[in-house]
Homo-oligomer: A and B are copies of this chain.
């Protein structure tokens, strides 16, 4: 059994896999609407293949237990996929550095805060939504259009995430 390390989600650590969607001082922001609103601008790259279009959905995720076994990963070769939490609760982000057969050593596990969204770049191996604690909603921006856009693979080893104690 392999136990994966869990790290905080930061823009720098997530950069190889896509973009963090967060209203932080580190991103470009400026006042609009007569100064009543601050715009944190252009936080994610929506990357879709020709002939497709962006689709806005809400995913309502059941919470996963801890320890949690990672048995498979998926990727969307034709488009990016963004998740933004709507209930302010933390969740898990699992991605792989590999572009071929994924082994446990390729996995990176991030504990996202409830005010952090992620945009998986097209083709990045990731685990489906892992909500925590209770049923949670996420806004999702992904792709609609012709052609198969989901590959899956099974992990070869017994691979687990054990969440650290949280407040």
Shortest beta-carbon distance from A126 to chain B in Å:
12
Per-position 1/0 for A85-106, Cβ under 8 A of B: 1111000000000000000000
A54 at the interface (CB under 8 A from B): yes
A38 at the interface (CB under 8 A from B): yes
Specify which chain B residues have a CB less than 8 angstroms from the CB of A134 in the assembled complex: none
Q: How many copies does the complex hold?
A: 2
Per the 8 Å Cβ criterion, residues 23-65 of A in contact with B are 23, 32-34, 36-44, 46, 53-62, 64
Interface centre among A22, A40, A82, A139 (most CB of B within 10 A): A139
Specify which chain B residues have a CB less than 8 angstroms from the CB of A119 in the assembled complex: 56
A21 at the interface (CB under 8 A from B): yes
Taking a contact as CB atoms under 8 Å apart, the answer to whether B115 and A21 are in contact is no
A69 at the interface (CB under 8 A from B): no
Taking a contact as CB atoms under 8 Å apart, the answer to whether A64 and B36 are in contact is yes
CA of A44 to CA of B64, assembled, Å: 29
CA of A140 to CA of B23, assembled, Å: 12
Specify which chain B residues have a CB less than 8 angstroms from the CB of A62 in the assembled complex: 36-37
Known: A33-B128, A64-B36. A57 touches B41 (CB 8 A): yes
Specify which chain B residues have a CB less than 8 angstroms from the CB of A87 in the assembled complex: 88
Specify which chain B residues have a CB less than 8 angstroms from the CB of A115 in the assembled complex: 86, 137
Shortest beta-carbon distance from A53 to chain B in Å:
7
Known: A33-B129, A36-B128, A62-B37. A43 touches B57 (CB 8 A): yes
A144 at the interface (CB under 8 A from B): yes
Nearest 5 pairs between A and B by C-beta? A33-B128, A23-B58, A40-B58, A44-B56, A38-B60
